[in-house]
Amino acid sequence: MMQSAAVRQLVLLLPALGVIVLLIGVPLGLMGWVSLLEKSASAGVDWQASPGAGNYLRLVWEEDFDGRMILNPTYLVIFLRSVLQAAVTTLLCLVLGLPVALWMAGLTRTGRMVMLLLVTIPFWTNLLVRNYAWLIILREDGWTTAVLNRLWPFGPVQLLYNDAAVAIGLTYSFLPFMILPLYSVFEKFDWRLIEAALDLGATRRRALRRVVLPLALPGIVAGSLLVFIPCLGAFVTPALLGGGKTAMLGNVIQAQFGPARNWPFGAAVSIVLLAIMLAVMTAMALWRSRRAPR
Partner 1 sequence: MNLRRFPVMREISIAVLVFLYVPVIVLTVYSFNANRTATVWTHASFDWYLRILANPSIRAATWNSIVLAGTSATAATLIALLAALATRRAFPGRDTTETLLRLPLILPEIVVAVATLLLFVSLGVSLGLGAMIAAHTAFCIPFAYLPIRARLDGMSGSYEEAAQDLYADRFRTFRRVTMPLLWPGVMAGFTLAFVTSLDDFLTSFFLSGPGTTTLPVYIFSAIRAGITPEINAISTVMLVISILLVSLSFFLGQLRR
Q: Which of 1, 3, 4, 15 binds partner 1 (CB under 8 A)?
A: 15
Q: What is the Cα–Cα distance from 60 to 149, expressed in whole angstroms? A: 41
Q: What letter would DSSP give residue 50?
A: P
Smallest gap, in angstroms, from Cβ of residue 103 to partner 1? Answer: 4
Does the protein bind partner 1 through residue 135 (CB under 8 A)? Answer: yes
Contacting partner 1 within 32-51 (CB under 8 A): 34, 44-45, 47
Comparison of 74 and 125: residue with beta carbon closer to partner 1? 125
- Which residue number, 113 or 217, has a Cβ lying nearer to partner 1? 113
Among 159, 220, 240, 247, binds partner 1 (CB under 8 A): 240
To the nearest whole angstrom, how small is the minimum distance from the Cβ of residue 76 to partner 1?
20
Taking the C-alpha atoms of residue 175 and residue 89, their distance in angstroms, rounded to an integer, is 9
Minimum Å distance from CB 86 to partner 1? 11
Q: Toward partner 1, which CB reaches closer, 31 or 60?
A: 31
- Full DSSP string of 64-132: -TTS-EEE-HHHHHHHHHHHHHHHHHHHHHHHHHHHHHHHHHTS-HHHHHHHHHHHHHHHHS-HHHHHH
Q: Is 286 in the site for partner 1 (CB under 8 A)?
A: no
Contacts of 137 (CB under 8 A, 6+ apart): 144
The helix-helix angle for 263-291 and 249-257 (nearest 10°) equals 150
End-to-end CA distance of the chain: 41
132, 243, 260, 280: residue in contact with partner 1 (rule CB under 8 A): 132
Q: Does 20 bind partner 1 (CB under 8 A)?
A: yes
Least separation, in Å, of the C-beta of 26 and partner 1?
Answer: 6
